[in-house]
Structure 1
Amino acid sequence: MPWSVRWVGGRGAQSQKQCKKSSFAFYQAVRDLLPVWFLEDMRTMEVFHWEDGGKVSVYSPSEALLYALVHDHQPYARHLLTKFPQSALAVPSQSFSCCQSSAPHLAMAVRYNRVRVLFRILKTIHTFPPSDRASHLDRRGCSRVEGGKTALHVACELVRPECLLLLLGHGASPCLQDSAGNTPLDTLLQQISHSPAANMRAKLLCLDCLFFFVPQDLQFSMKQQLLDNRQRWQDLLGENRLQCLLGLAPPSLFVGAMRVLIRTISPEHFPEALDNLPLPHFLKPLDLKLES
Structure 2
Amino acid sequence: MPWSVRWVGGRGAQSQKQCKKSSFAFYQAVRDLLPVWFLEDMRTMEVFHWEDGGKVSVYSPSEALLYALVHDHQPYARHLLTKFPESALAVPSQSFSCCQSSAPHLAMAVRYNRVRVLFRILKAIQAFPPSDRASHLDRRGCSRVEGGKTALHVACELVRPECLLLLLGHGASPCLQDSAGNTPLDTLLQQISHAPAANTRAKLLCLDCLFFFVPQDLQFAMKQQLLDNRQWWQDLLGVSRFQCLVGLAPPSLFVGAMRVLIRTISPEHFPEALDNLPLPHFLKPLDLKLES
Provide TM-score, normalisation by structure 1: 0.96
Deviation at 1:285, TM superposition (A): 5.9
Residues 271 and 288 of structure 1 are in contact (CA less than 8 Å); yes or no, is this contact kept in structure 2? no
Deviation at 1:8, TM superposition (A): 3.5
* SS in structure 1 of the partner of residue 6 of structure 2: helix
1-structure distance, mates of 2:143, 2:17: 32
Q: Cα 1:11–1:279, aligned 2, differ >3 Å: closer, same or farther?
A: closer
Deviation at 1:9, TM superposition (A): 3.5
* SS in structure 1 of the partner of residue 136 of structure 2: helix
Deviation at 1:95, TM superposition (A): 0.4
Q: Cα 1:273–1:6, aligned 2, differ >3 Å: closer, same or farther?
A: closer
RMSD of Structure 2 on Structure 1 (CA): 1.7
* SS in structure 1 of the partner of residue 99 of structure 2: coil
Deviation at 1:235, TM superposition (A): 1.0
Deviation at 1:279, TM superposition (A): 4.7
Listed one character per residue, the Cα deviations across residues 105-136 of structure 1 (whole Å, up to 9, x for unaligned) are 00000000000000000000000000000000
Deviation at 1:56, TM superposition (A): 0.2
The answer to whether residue 227 in structure 2 is matched with residue 222 in structure 1 is: no
2-structure distance, mates of 1:4, 1:32: 14
Residues 159 and 206 of structure 1 are in contact (CA less than 8 Å); yes or no, is this contact kept in structure 2? yes
2-structure distance, mates of 1:27, 1:120: 22
Deviates further, 3-12 or 208-217:
3-12
Q: Cα 1:265–1:14, aligned 2, differ >3 Å: closer, same or farther?
A: same
Deviation at 1:252, TM superposition (A): 1.1
Listed one character per residue, the Cα deviations across residues 74-94 of structure 1 (whole Å, up to 9, x for unaligned) are 000000000001100000000
Residues 33 and 73 of structure 2 are in contact (CA less than 8 Å); yes or no, is this contact kept in structure 1? yes
Deviation at 1:276, TM superposition (A): 1.2
Q: Cα 1:282–1:16, aligned 2, differ >3 Å: closer, same or farther?
A: closer
Q: Cα 1:184–1:282, aligned 2, differ >3 Å: closer, same or farther?
A: closer
* SS in structure 2 of the partner of residue 196 of structure 1: coil
Deviation at 1:278, TM superposition (A): 4.0
Residues 62 and 91 of structure 2 are in contact (CA less than 8 Å); yes or no, is this contact kept in structure 1? yes
Residues 170 and 270 of structure 2 are in contact (CA less than 8 Å); yes or no, is this contact kept in structure 1? yes
Residues 102 and 139 of structure 2 are in contact (CA less than 8 Å); yes or no, is this contact kept in structure 1? yes
1-structure distance, mates of 2:194, 2:263: 33
Residues 209 and 283 of structure 2 are in contact (CA less than 8 Å); yes or no, is this contact kept in structure 1? no
Residues 126 and 268 of structure 1 are in contact (CA less than 8 Å); yes or no, is this contact kept in structure 2? yes
Deviates further, 140-149 or 271-280:
271-280
* SS in structure 1 of the partner of residue 175 of structure 2: coil
* SS in structure 2 of the partner of residue 5 of structure 1: coil
Listed one character per residue, the Cα deviations across residues 211-254 of structure 1 (whole Å, up to 9, x for unaligned) are 00000110100001100001110111000000000000011111
Report 1:200-215 matches (<5 A): 200-215=200-215
2-structure distance, mates of 1:274, 1:166: 11
Deviation at 1:257, TM superposition (A): 1.1
1-structure distance, mates of 2:251, 2:37: 51
The answer to whether residue 121 in structure 2 is matched with residue 121 in structure 1 is: yes
Deviation at 1:291, TM superposition (A): 1.0
Residues 3 and 47 of structure 1 are in contact (CA less than 8 Å); yes or no, is this contact kept in structure 2? no
The answer to whether residue 154 in structure 2 is matched with residue 169 in structure 1 is: no
Residues 89 and 103 of structure 1 are in contact (CA less than 8 Å); yes or no, is this contact kept in structure 2? yes
1-structure distance, mates of 2:3, 2:25: 11
Q: Cα 1:115–1:91, aligned 2, differ >3 Å: closer, same or farther?
A: same
Can you give the 5+ residue segments of structure 1 that lack an aligned partner in the other structure? none
2-structure distance, mates of 1:160, 1:3: 35
Residues 2 and 46 of structure 1 are in contact (CA less than 8 Å); yes or no, is this contact kept in structure 2? no
Deviation at 1:287, TM superposition (A): 3.3
Q: How many residues align?
A: 292
Residues 7 and 15 of structure 1 are in contact (CA less than 8 Å); yes or no, is this contact kept in structure 2? no
2-structure distance, mates of 1:41, 1:289: 31
Match of 2:54 in 1: 54
Q: Cα 1:210–1:134, aligned 2, differ >3 Å: closer, same or farther?
A: same
Identity of aligned residues (%): 96
